[in-house]
Amino acid sequence: MIESQIESQNFIGGEWAPADSGETSEIINPSKPSEVLGTTPSSSADEVSRAVEAAAGALPEWKSMLPSGRGAIMMKAADIIEEKTDELASLMARETGKPMGESLMEVARAAAIFRFYGSEGWRLDGTIPPSTRPGIQISSVREPLGVVALITPWNFPLAIPSWKMAPALICGNTIVIKPASNAALNAASLMQVLSEAGLPEGVVNMVTGSGGAVGDPLVTDPRVKGVSFTGSTSVGLGIQERAVGKKVQLEMGGKNPYVVMEDADLTDAAQKVAFSAFGYAGQKCTATSRAVVVESVYDEFIEELKSATEATKFGDVFDDDTAAGPVVNKSQYNDILAAIETAKKDGRVIVDGGATGLEEDGYFISPVIVADVDNASETAQEEIFGPVLAVIKARDFDHAVEIANDTRYGLTAGIATRSLRYTQEFSERSEVGIVNVNTPTAGVEFHVPFGGVKESGVGPKEQGTAGLDFYSTWKTVAIRAV
């Protein structure tokens, strides 16, 4: 277990250091807001500049190391993550309010990600196609970008930093990460792991502080060649504007639909929708927030959905069967409660949840379901990032697909059906990066490409071997022996 208070610091050039100003911000346990878990430095442009300098200084040696050597360090990091599983998961549950069961799975996933990309050290691909010119050998190889900036959200506090760092490292880049202020202790624990694994000084650097004070100077620093961001669409699109001349990868918000067809197993479909909408209190980019149901099974599905929601357990993040704890902080809590007021005007209330009235005992919000929602309404169009589900009626399959696609977002979409035709057509016509057939929208696998389209995703996909594409650039070499 962690100590009750952690005084975290920045990690620059292999050393832990406070902000020059000495200023810190407190990290609060959202399950129990009176409990301060620790503090993290409130840094500024000066610390960012030093971190970029450290990363630039470490670059020549790191990129010239054999990829298998880089991979060996990453494998070691995976081992250490596994050795620290209970400590890391417990910190995650306390810092972000993620249920312990899910936190344990996230720690395992972080280890698997380091192992997956570590093993790419033996495999990093290139091509040697036949040249069109006689006597010439032509080949293309991957090269690192250089110093990359990673900006991460709080909701997957180990997995997202890992799935950005690991492909960046195996490709030979050096890193400055600015973690979410709400997950800075988790990020610091990952720095500790990498340091214990023997990562050379300066290869990974972390600077904590607000988006404006730390994120802005980081994305505009001319020494930074690539920016990989995960977070809200508004912040992401702002970063894209400011990161002039850099390679940019943005993974952003979602308003993910789940279509329920007349031939579906409605009990199973309701369980998948409730799990995806309310697990982790709806705070996943892949959460289902719109159930689009054809009219012939609309009322029946709503009854199933009510039962599935009632069976979902909310409360203490350390109970084994808890699916959702609190939302992450007071500001999210207030925003979600305001969105619930709007939702109750935008639809017929089916499950009347909301604030538990015990804010001092944690930022808990119970699920809210509203039906008969117009897809043009605010509730159906704006990401709430909380346990709120809109149910929307569709005439038939074509109408359901039209509604599902009628959003500026395009991360993931699900369908409940037994029909091969619906399955095929839905997969082809869905304007998203991920399609789920009879499986939850929430929950993805680390070894396949992940990411959205439209305003959910910009640039190359993350995860799987596709995750290498952002962190490398192709160099083509033509050789003629004389």
Stretch that binds ligand NAP, among 32-40, 178-186, 307-315, 366-374 (CB under 6 A): 178-186
Q: Is the CB of 412 or the CB of 472 nearer to ligand NAP?
A: 412
Residue 154 interacts with ligand NAP (CB under 6 A): yes or no: yes
By CB under 6 A, is residue 254 in contact with ligand NAP? yes
Please say which residue, 202 or 253, places its beta carbon nearer to ligand NAP. 253
Nearer to ligand NAP, 353 or 452 (CB): 452
> 3-class SS at 19?
coil
Residue 141 DSSP SS3: strand
The least CB distance from residue 242 to ligand NAP, in Å, is 8
Q: Which of 217, 253, 440, 459 binds ligand NAP (CB under 6 A)?
A: 253
Q: Which is nearer to ligand NAP, 283 or 417 (CB)?
A: 283
User: Greatest CA span in the chain, whole angstroms?
Assistant: 81
Nearest CA-CA partner of 348 in 303, 391, 404, 290: 391
Q: Is 35 a catalytic residue?
A: no
Give the CA angle between residues 49, 53, 55 to the nearest 5°.
115
The interface with ligand NAP within residues 338-397 (CB under 6 A) comprises 383, 385
95 as an active site residue: the answer is no
Residues 6+ apart with CB under 8 A from 407: 255, 257, 290, 380, 381, 454
Q: CA 365, CA 351: separation in Å to the nearest integer?
A: 12
Q: Tell me which of 18, 67, 99, 153 binds ligand NAP, using CB under 6 A.
A: 153
Nearer to ligand NAP, 144 or 153 (CB): 153
Scored b (16 or more CB within 10 A) or e, 164-186 reads bbbbbbbbbbbbbbbbbbbbbbb
Is residue 405 close enough to count as binding ligand NAP by CB under 6 A?
A: no
| Strands 368-371 and 348-351, bridge-based pairing | antiparallel
Q: Which residues pair with 230 in a beta bridge?
A: 251
Tell me, by CB under 6 A, how many residues bind ligand NAP.
32
How many angstroms separate the CA atoms of 106 and 462, rounded?
Answer: 17
If one counts every other C-beta atom within 10 angstroms of the C-beta of residue 337, the result is 17
> 37-73 in b/e burial notation, b at 16+ Cβ within 10 A?
bbbbbbbbbebbbbbbbbbbebbeebbebebeebbbb
3-state secondary structure of 206: strand
Is residue 152 part of the contact set for ligand NAP (CB under 6 A)? Answer: yes
Of the residues 262, 285, 304, 462, only one is catalytic, namely 285
CB 75, min distance to ligand NAP, A: 25
Give the footprint of ligand NAP on residues 285-324 (CB under 6 A). Answer: 285
Q: Is 411 among the residues that bind ligand NAP (CB under 6 A)?
A: yes
Instruction: List the interface residues with ligand NAP, window 196-215 (CB under 6 A).
Output: 210-212, 215
Looking at beta carbons only, is 102 or 304 nearer to ligand NAP?
102
From the list 53, 102, 251, 383, the catalytic residue is: 251
Amino acid identity, position 424: Q
Task: Just list the catalytic residues.
Answer: 251, 285
Residue numbers of the site for ligand NAP (CB under 6 A)? 151-156, 178, 180-182, 210-212, 215-216, 219, 230-232, 235, 238-239, 251-254, 285, 383, 385, 411, 452, 456
